[in-house]
Chain A
Amino acid sequence: AQTVTQSQPEMSVQEAETVTLSCTYDTSESDYYLFWYKQPPSRQMILVIRQEAYKQQNATENRFSVNFQKAAKSFSLKISDSQLGDAAMYFCAYRSEANAGKSTFGDGTTLTVKP
């Protein structure tokens, strides 16, 4: 079974600074997707960024970028120029394509942005 580990329950960053959230996963599969989701107090799950395992290039979305290390099974999220609206719970997720597309989520990291 796949597992996803987020070792940082809480992180804090100063507004306009950069922060990196860690995520590691364990799988024996070669074809899969990795995601970072943001969950604000409204509880709506918002997709931040997506990475296909077969792609070597790290995904980027504006201020959000990932460092995908497939061999090390590591998938960290970097948030640049942090904004107050970035404060939320962030979940790393693994999605298997061999297993009906089910997703496994990490325990989450609560990000606080200080003004």
Chain B
Amino acid sequence: GAVVSQHPSRVICKSGTSVKIECRSLDFQATTMFWYRQFPKQSLMLMATSNEGSKATYEQGVEKDKFLINHASLTLSTLTVTSAHPEDSSFYICSARDEEQWDTIYFGEGSWLTVV
């Protein structure tokens, strides 16, 4: 079946640095991808909708300058956490929409970010 791959699965970075997380659709094209954040034992919170070839649409309360999203191709969206702080430590999950398969959405494996 269709697969969405996230990389890296785990990353540790120092406060003040930036870190990039990639989300790839491996065998389908995705004009729309979604980025979520999940705190331990909590639900998924939608951060933004990533649109290929245009600006991402951010949810209310999400800082667009801090969480930069780029969807440069039909198979790749990236989330860059800029000037990371310990409170940005979290589990980040992406999903991609396969419009050729009845609009099925596939989730990546997620990425653990720890800011020290």
The A interface, classified by DSSP as helix, strand, loop or mixed, is loop
For chain B, the bracket of interface size reads 10 to 19
Of chain A, the residue at the smallest CB distance from B97 is: A101
Using a CB–CB distance below 8 Å, which chain B residues touch chain A?
32, 34, 38, 41-44, 46, 49, 57, 91, 93, 95, 97, 103, 105, 107, 109-110
The B interface, classified by DSSP as helix, strand, loop or mixed, is strand
Q: Please give the number of chain A residues whose Cβ is less than 8 angstroms from any Cβ of chain B in the complex.
A: 19
Using a CB–CB distance below 8 Å, which chain A residues touch chain B?
37, 42-45, 89, 91, 95, 97, 100-108, 110
Instruction: List A contacts of B46 (CB < 8 A).
Output: 102-104
Tell me the complex Cα distance, A89–B91, Å. 15
Q: A91-B43, A102-B46, A108-B43 are in contact. Are A43 and B103 (CB under 8 A)?
A: no
Q: State the Cβ distance, B61 to closest chain A Cβ, in Å.
A: 13
